[in-house]
């Protein structure tokens, strides 16, 4: 009997169309897998078996009745807990929202429902997406299916781990400084941060509004492309949403698989290598470059000198915006309330109890950075750095069609290893943050495993704003070349998890 | 320390003042969401994820509100910024759903304007406008138990219906040179703003409902010695009196603050820079939050919204839609209607100008229109303690009523009865005249019968009339009018009496 959890989303969709499997069977297989492994992985904060199966049944009935269905109809999906889902608990990984059931759907939630994809549940994340390891979740960490002692990345560790553990074929992520790409990198999966504004943020609980972007998580570039097209598009409810057509990601991925890369210029960002980068990570990165060259691409080196300041600027802009975005968690209208004598004391006590340390650290940082007398030196300067980084990218894209780097400097570290050293934790996002500061799209796909530890390494592709399709073309081309070498996708190389009885 | 009268304070000091006016726009929906912008609904029924500040929700700018703000800015002679931004003003308060207010900070849409206000004696005073910016209103807290204040309340309720209602805040530059006329200028300024927003139809301009609200800043400085430049004397410490919400209260608040500050200064005590609360009942102010402990609002550009970038073409198009400046309109109407200064001032103060204008437009003569609105209707409004415009009678009704009088269908007395019916909701004047049977009795035979009856009842009066004392006929007229319940034409009755008495008039 086929284990459908090992198939790609595209294969599942095709098999349902061909009548080889039903959505109920697919959905049940994933629910069974979750039941079997999630006690160890802890990718999910909430599993909605009933809701997922109900959607699956409707899809099966509709298909049986000969209805025209969307491309991914019946393919189950996991949703990061940052996205509000009507009638399904939404916590953003925070105790302050424990038990909250939103009275409305995020735009992307609505689109998933309209695409008729059964929602398996909500995935774990660092509290309010602040973190690179999912250890800052208010509900306990997620573990990396490649090695349960290691972090699955963050903040979207739950979404990435659910894919690597075969608990879901597709997942929604959000990326403010790498929260889709870094987890993809360390779990050997694919993650895409679209152009800022390419996917509606309406109903995504805001971390840093000018940096946040929702995107697809998958095990293959093609699957990510399908999901990207479901999620994307203009939304009148999000003023920052782009009023332009959804990029043709699926076509671009097909082109990447089928055609060579003659005439494509690939720019290697000089600053994103060397000191701090693990040898095995750089080795796999170099090998991937060779594969791209072999398919006809031209590889050039580009320099982005302002990247040196990206992390510093990011850790001023993000906390500033977050300190304001998280003010609404005041106990008055929803969520936790720690009742005290006055409303001020109640607000204070609720926030003291409901927020974790990392959230408090960033709120304090942001409140300070925005204060009168400090604003210009901190927030103001950070915005200037942002402009410089945008200029660096503009200049680099004069020389290359896409830019590339390792997604993360290292393979996943051990749980607890960097908890007491926030700066070391922050450094894990050094290669992913610039794309958020510039609003450009980025993708991470597996480039192999590091010889020294056997853990996944990621390859990052960045494209100019609005040119998301380019990443899919290059990514699919590289993925195909790597798969030919490996005889399949990287996730197939992951050690089998022990299945609970 | 002895409080001085306003006049005494003005003799000793030179006042500097400024006014912030908040105008609630009358857009169909709120500033950043699709909820209805309506006054008076059940608490928390006009709310959605956006104006409740639920996690994940995002604002979208109401284009109509931007249009209203620009039209108002243009009416105040402001420049319209090609690109302006919203900013977040961060502070924790239960009525502020997101715990930040979306406002405009360093880049207001409208800036650098000026407004001419006309004082009662016709003098024109020019007020400098610093800015007019858009923002959202907060919800409304109600404190239960205790004194009704937040301190000592048993619990508090929050109504978010008003949260997110679009506002334009108009901030003046420091106003100097008004001297003893400061209170008058302040009142006239707010009245002019109110007239402008009503003429623009961007707000209902009802101060009593809080749709136009004012905060008044005032400081006193020593008068310059003879020959010295008053502008060279530095400003004193100012107080900011919040929520002064009627024209009369603005004058009173300035009187009170000037007297209070002058008393302090003369006693050698400092004026504290602070916000103060206005108390309508006592006509006085009490200290609020001191500015020294003022919060740091941590303003920064609102990242969820794009800049407001009105095209120059659109701004010019909007400029073309601006109504006449209220002061100019008044001068024109006064001329057209032939009103005296007093007529005009009374009409303006009673808020009757547009009602009269509409009544005239519906066909009534200006003096007749004025007579109804400033007479019978003003009295009724006063008795009912409502604004004239809130009475259940329209300018068209009043014009119709006057038309009936002019046609002789009813007389003045009957017209007042008809108006009573209209106000009681019995229908239009014509309908009331019909249903109440108010038409003047013009059937001579009916009148003759009534006259004969009255003369028969009072033979002594008949004798007097026939004796040449024609004025005695008045008693008979009165009797006939009584008998016909006022529905007779008194002039015609008198003619008939004289005929019947044989003394042709």
Q: Is the peptide bond before A155 cis (omega within 30 degrees of 0)?
A: yes
- Apex A54 CA angle, A217 and B55, nearest 5: 55
Pairing of strands A298-302, A265-269: parallel
Interface residue of B43, B44, B48, B55 to substitute, partner A, most A CBs within 10 Å: B55
Residue B504 binned pLDDT confidence (cut-offs 50, 70, 90) = low
- Measure A28 CA to nearest chain B CA, in Å: 30
Interface probe for A, chosen from B298, B302, B305, B308 (most Cβ of A below 10 Å), is: B298
Return d(Cα B129, Cα B108) in angstroms, integer.
12
B294 shares contact with chain A (CB less than 8 Å): no
How far apart are the CA of B60 and the nearest CA of chain A, in angstroms? 5
When pLDDT is cut at 50, 70 and 90, the band that residue A485 belongs to is: very high
B294 band by pLDDT with thresholds 50, 70 and 90: low
The answer to whether A204 and A108 are in contact (CB under 8 A) is: yes
In the prediction, which pLDDT does A389 show?
A: 98
Calculate mean pLDDT across residues A249-257: 98
Residue B493 in 3-state DSSP? Answer: helix
CA of A213 vs chain B CAs: smallest distance (Å): 12
**Contacts for B290 with CB less than 8 Å, ≥ 6 apart:** B272, B273, B274, B275
In chain A, count H helices and then E strands.
16, 11
Q: How confident is the model over B354-401, as pLDDT tens digits?
A: 899 999 999 999 999 999 999 999 999 989 888 888 899 999 999 999
> What share of chain B has pLDDT > 70, as a percent?
97
> Which residues from B are below 8 Å from A329, CB to CB?
55
Contact status, residue B135 vs residue B104, Cβ threshold 8 Å = yes
Give me the CATH topology for the region B444-501. Arc Repressor Mutant, subunit A (1.10.10)
Helices (H), A242-380: 249-258, 279-294, 310-325, 343-354, 357-370
Asked if pLDDT for residue B505 goes beyond 60, the answer is no
Q: Do residue A102 and residue B305 have CB atoms under 8 angstroms apart?
A: no
pLDDT at B153: 77
State the average pLDDT over residues B144-154.
74
The verdict on a CB contact (< 8 Å) between A102 and B53 is no
DSSP characters for A348-407? HHHHHHHS-HHHHHHHHHHHHHHSTTTTIIIIIHHHHHHHHHHHHHHHHHHH-SEEEEES
Give the catalytic positions of A in this structure.
80, 155, 179
pLDDT at B143: 85
**B52/A324 Cβ within 8 A:** no
Q: Tell me if A311 sits within 8 A of A433, measured CB to CB.
A: yes
Residues of A in contact with B52 (CB under 8 A): 333
Nearest residue, CB atoms, B300 vs list A104, A205, A379? A379
* pLDDT tens figures, B161-183: 999 999 999 999 999 999 999 99
Q: Does any CB of chain B come closer than 8 Å to the CB of residue A210?
A: yes
pLDDT tens digits for B22-65?
999 999 999 999 999 998 899 999 999 999 999 999 999 999 99
Q: Mutate which of A81, A197, A237, A334 to disrupt the B interface (most B C-beta within 10 Å)?
A: A237
Question: Which of B31, B34, B56 to mutate against chain A (most A CBs within 10 Å)?
Answer: B56
Quote the pLDDT of residue A501.
57
pLDDT tens per residue, range A79-103: 999 999 999 999 999 999 999 999 9
Q: Do A324 and B100 touch (CB under 8 A)?
A: yes
Do A122 and A45 touch, CB atoms closer than 8 A? yes
Mean pLDDT score, A453-461: 98
Q: Does A209 touch chain B (CB under 8 A)?
A: yes
**What residue in A sits closest to B151 (Cα-Cα)?**
A342
Is residue B92 less than 8 Å (CB to CB) from chain A? yes
Does residue B292 surpass a pLDDT of 70? Answer: no
State whether B56 and A328 contact (CB < 8 Å): no
User: Could you tell me the pLDDT band of residue A434, with boundaries at 50, 70 and 90?
Assistant: very high
In whole numbers, what is the pLDDT of chain A averaged over residues? 96
First-to-last C-alpha distance (Å) of chain A: 19
Burial class (CB in 10 A: 0-12, 13-18, 19+), B77: middle
Q: Tell me the residues of chain B between 58 and 87 that have a Cβ less than 8 Å away from chain A.
A: 58-61
User: What's the CA dihedral at A324, A326, A330, A331 to 10 degrees?
Assistant: 160
Give the model's pLDDT for residue B437.
81
Q: Which residues in chain B (128-167) have CB-CB distances under 8 A to chain A?
A: 156, 158
ipTM: 0.95
CB contact under 8 A, A240 and B306: yes
B440: left (phi over 0), alpha (psi -120 to 50) or beta: beta
Distance, in angstroms, between B238 CA and closest chain A CA?
Answer: 22
| pLDDT value at residue A420 | 85
pLDDT of residue A224 exceeding 60, the answer is yes
Taking the Cβ of residue B305 and every Cβ of chain A, the question of whether any pair is shorter than 8 Å is answered with: yes
Stretch 358-377 of chain A: residues touching chain B, C-beta under 8 Å: 367, 370-372, 375
Q: Is B100 on the interface with A (CB under 8 A)?
A: yes
- The set of residues, in sequence order, having a beta carbon less than 8 Å from that of A424 and lying 6+ positions away, is A418
Q: From B97, B163, B113, select the one nearest B135 (Cα to Cα).
A: B163
CA B126 and chain centroid, separation: 21
CATH code of domain A6-308+384-493: 3.90.1300.10
Q: Does A103 touch chain B (CB under 8 A)?
A: yes
Output the pLDDT for position B148: 66
A186 touches chain B (CB under 8 A): no
**Min Cα separation A223/chain B (Å):** 26
Average pLDDT over residues B111-137: 94
Q: Which residues contact A474 (CB under 8 A, 6 or more apart)?
A: A256, A261, A264, A266, A292, A297, A402, A461
Asked if B94's CB is within 8 angstroms of A324's CB, the reply is no
Least confident of A140-149, B199-208, B411-420: B411-420
pLDDT at A1: 59
Q: Tokens standing for A454?
A: 């056997």
What are the residue boundaries of the structural domains of chain A, listed by start?
6-308+384-493, 309-383
Nearest to B55 among A84, A239, A320 (CB): A84
Q: Using CA atoms, how far apart are residues B341 and B349, in angstroms rounded to an integer? A: 12
Q: Is A205 on the interface with B (CB under 8 A)?
A: yes
Task: Look up residue B37 and give its DSSP letter.
Answer: -
* Contact A354/B at CB under 8 A: no
Question: Is the minimum CB–CB distance between A394 and chain B shorter than 8 Å?
Answer: no
Q: Which two tokens stand for residue B87?
A: 């900013």
Per the CB < 8 Å rule, is B55 touching A238? no
**Range ranked top by mean pLDDT from A443-452, B239-248, B320-329:** A443-452
Q: B143 vs A203, which has greater pLDDT? A: A203
Q: Name the residue facing A334 among B54, B94, B296 (closest C-beta).
A: B54
Question: Which residue of chain B has the CA closest to A100?
Answer: B55
Residue with tokens 């044989």: B502
pLDDT value for A187: 98
Residue A213 pairs with which residues in a beta bridge? A175
Q: Confidence band (pLDDT; 50, 70, 90) for A203?
A: very high
Alpha-carbon B284 to chain mean position: 22
User: What's the confidence (pLDDT) of residue B291?
Assistant: 52
**For residue B120, what pLDDT is reported?**
80
Predicted confidence band of residue B150 (pLDDT cuts 50, 70, 90): low
Which pLDDT belongs to residue B50?
98
What residues have CB less than 8 Å from B418, skipping those under 6 apart?
B401, B404, B410, B429, B432, B433, B436, B438
Nearest Cα to A421, choosing from A132, A129, A128, A125? A132
Residues of chain B with CATH 1.10.10.410: 444-501
The CA distances from residue B7 to B124, B226, B271, B290, in Å, are 22, 20, 19, 28
How many Cα atoms sit within 13 Å of A223 on the Cβ side?
A: 27
Nearest to B94 among A203, A327, A332 (CB): A332
Compare all CA atoms of chain B with the CA of A320 and give the residue at the minimum distance.
B300
Which of the four pLDDT bands, split at 50, 70 and 90, describes residue B144?
confident
Q: What is the mean pLDDT of chain B?
A: 91
């Amino acid at each position: 009997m086929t284990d459908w959890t090992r198939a790609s989303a595209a294969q599942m969709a095709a098999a349902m169309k061909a009548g080889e499997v039903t959505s109920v069977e697919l959905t049940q297989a994933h629910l069974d897998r979750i039941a079997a492994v999630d006690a160890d992985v802890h990718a999910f904060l909430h599993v909605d078996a009933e809701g997922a199966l109900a959607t699956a049944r409707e899809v099966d009935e509709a298909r049986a009745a000969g209805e025209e269905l969307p491309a991914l109809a019946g393919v189950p999906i996991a949703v990061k807990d940052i996205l509000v889902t009507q009638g399904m608990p939404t916590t953003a990984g925070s105790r302050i929202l424990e038990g909250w059931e939103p009275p409305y759907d995020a735009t992307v939630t609505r689109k998933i429902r309209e695409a008729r994809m059964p929602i398996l549940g909500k995935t774990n994340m660092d509290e309010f997406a602040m973190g690179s390891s999912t250890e800052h979740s208010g509900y306990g960490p997620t573990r990396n299916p490649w090695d349960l002692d290691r972090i699955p990345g963050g903040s979207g560790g739950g979404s990435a781990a659910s894919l690597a553990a075969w608990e879901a074929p597709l997942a929604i992520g959000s990326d403010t400084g790498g929260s889709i790409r870094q987890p993809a990198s360390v779990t050997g999966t694919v993650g895409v941060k679209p152009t800022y504004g390419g996917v509606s943020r309406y109903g995504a609980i805001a971390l840093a509004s000018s940096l946040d972007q929702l995107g697809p998580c998958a095990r293959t570039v093609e699957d990510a492309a399908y999901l990207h097209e479901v999620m994307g598009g203009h939304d009148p409810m999000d003023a920052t949403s782009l009023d332009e057509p959804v990029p043709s990601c699926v076509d671009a991925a097909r082109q990447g698989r089928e055609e060579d890369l003659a005439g494509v210029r690939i720019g290697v960002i000089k600053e994103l290598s060397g000191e701090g980068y693990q040898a095995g990570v750089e080795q796999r990165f170099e090998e991937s470059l060779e594969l791209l060259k072999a398919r006809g691409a031209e590889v050039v080196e580009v320099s982005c000198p302002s990247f040196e300041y990206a992390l510093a600027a990011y850790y001023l802009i993000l906390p500033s915006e977050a300190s304001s975005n998280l003010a609404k968690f005041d106990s008055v209208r929803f969520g936790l309330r720690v009742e005290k004598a006055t409303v001020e004391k109640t607000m204070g006590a609720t926030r003291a109890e409901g927020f974790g340390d990392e959230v408090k650290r960033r709120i304090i940082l942001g409140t300070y950075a925005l204060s009168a007398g400090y604003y210009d030196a901190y927030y103001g300067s950070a915005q200037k750095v942002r402009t410089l980084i945008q200029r660096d990218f503009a200049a680099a894209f004069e020389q290359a069609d896409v830019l590339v780097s390792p997604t993360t400097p290292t393979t996943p570290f051990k749980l607890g290893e960097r908890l007491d050293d926030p700066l070391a934790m922050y450094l894990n996002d050094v290669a992913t943050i610039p794309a958020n500061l510039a609003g450009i799209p980025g993708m991470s796909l597996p480039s192999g495993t590091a010889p020294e530890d056997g853990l996944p390494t990621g390859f990052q592709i960045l494209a100019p704003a609005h040119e998301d399709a380019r990443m899919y073309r290059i990514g699919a081309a590289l993925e195909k070349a790597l798969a030919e070498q490996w005889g399949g996708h990287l996730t197939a190389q992951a050690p089998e998890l022990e299945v609970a009885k | 320390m002895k409080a001085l009268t306003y006049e005494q304070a003005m003799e000793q000091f030179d006042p500097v003042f400024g006014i912030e006016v908040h105008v609630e726009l009358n857009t169909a929906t709120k500033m950043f969401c699709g909820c209805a912008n309506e006054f008076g609904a059940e608490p928390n029924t006009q709310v959605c994820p956006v104006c409740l500040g639920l996690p994940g929700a995002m604002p979208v700018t109401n284009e109509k509100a931007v249009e209203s703000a620009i039209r108002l800015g243009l009416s105040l002679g402001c420049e319209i910024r090609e690109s302006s931004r919203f900013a977040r003003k961060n502070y924790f308060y239960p009525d502020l759903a997101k715990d930040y207010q979306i406002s405009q900070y360093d880049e207001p849409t409208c800036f650098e304007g000026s407004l001419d206000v006309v004082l009662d004696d016709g003098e024109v005073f020019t007020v400098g406008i610093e800015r007019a910016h858009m923002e959202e209103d907060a919800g409304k807290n109600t404190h239960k138990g205790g004194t009704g204040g937040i301190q000592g309340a048993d619990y508090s309720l929050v109504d978010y219906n008003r949260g997110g209602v679009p506002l334009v805040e108009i901030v003046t530059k420091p106003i100097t040179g008004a001297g003893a006329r400061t209170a008058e200028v302040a009142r006239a300024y707010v009245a002019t703003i109110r007239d402008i927003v009503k003429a623009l139809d961007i707000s209902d301009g009802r101060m009593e409902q809080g749709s136009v609200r004012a905060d008044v800043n005032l400081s006193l400085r020593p008068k310059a010695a003879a020959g010295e430049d008053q502008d060279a004397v530095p400003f004193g410490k100012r107080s900011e009196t919040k929520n002064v919400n009627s024209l009369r209260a603005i004058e009173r608040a300035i009187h009170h603050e000037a007297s209070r500050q002058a008393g302090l200064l003369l006693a050698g005590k400092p004026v504290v820079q602070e916000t103060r609360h206005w108390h309508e009942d006592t006509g006085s102010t009490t200290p609020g939050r001191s500015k020294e402990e003022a919060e740091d609002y941590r303003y920064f550009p609102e990242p969820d919204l794009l800049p407001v970038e009105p095209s120059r073409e659109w701004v010019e198009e909007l400029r073309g839609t601006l109504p006449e400046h209220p002061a100019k309109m008044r001068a024109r109407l006064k001329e057209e209607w032939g009103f005296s200064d007093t007529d005009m001032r009374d009409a303006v103060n009673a808020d009757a100008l547009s009602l009269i204008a509409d009544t005239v437009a519906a066909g009534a003569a200006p003096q007749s229109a004025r007579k109804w609105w400033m007479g019978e209707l003003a009295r009724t409004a006063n008795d009912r303690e409502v604004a004239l415009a809130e009475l259940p009678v329209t300018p068209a009704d009043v014009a119709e009523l006057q038309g009936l009088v002019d046609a002789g269908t009813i007389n003045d007395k009957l017209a007042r009865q008809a108006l009573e019916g209209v106000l009681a909701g019995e229908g239009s004047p014509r309908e009331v005249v019909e249903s109440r049977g108010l038409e003047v009795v013009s059937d001579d035979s009916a009148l003759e019968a009534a006259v004969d009856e009255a003369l028969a009842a009072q033979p002594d009066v008949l004798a007097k009339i026939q004796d040449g004392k024609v004025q005695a006929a008045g008693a008979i007229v009165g009797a006939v009018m009584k008998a016909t319940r006022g529905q007779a034409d008194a002039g015609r009755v008198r003619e008939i009496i004289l005929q019947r008495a044989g003394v042709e008039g």
